[in-house]
Amino acid sequence: MTKTNYDLEERTFQFAKSVCIFCKKLAQNVSNIEYSKQVIRSSGSIGANYIEANEALSKKDFCHRIKISRKEAKESILWLKLIAETNNVSEAREVKTLINEGMEIKKILSSILIKSEK
């Protein structure tokens, strides 16, 4: 995720992959296991729903899938923030990078949605 990637399918894939790799490094305790499961699911769902949106049969279906993808991006950001705060890693570069990437993806999806609903 060091260079800007304009292929959103690939970018969301790389985001989910980076989240998974990050979660593997966390201490294995009850909260981290649960938060990791949640963030891995939601981060992967961003790309999965974006791919489905690209295969949508109607504009309504496309917008619906983009909304789900955006919702999953917001959820991923929440879980990453919780992990950061409960592990005292809120200043860690890696988690900040992931949170920022999640926010960027959310903004891109919001922009796509605004343009598509016109």
- Average pLDDT score over residue span 72-95: 91
CB 105 within 8 Å of CB 15: yes
What is the reported pLDDT for 6?
65
DSSP 44-55: HHHHHHHHHHHT
pLDDT for residue 16 is more than 80: yes
What is the reported pLDDT for 3?
46
Cα 61 to Cα 111: distance, rounded to the nearest angstrom: 17
* Average pLDDT taken over every residue of the chain: 93
**8-116 under CATH 1.20.1440.60, yes or no:** yes
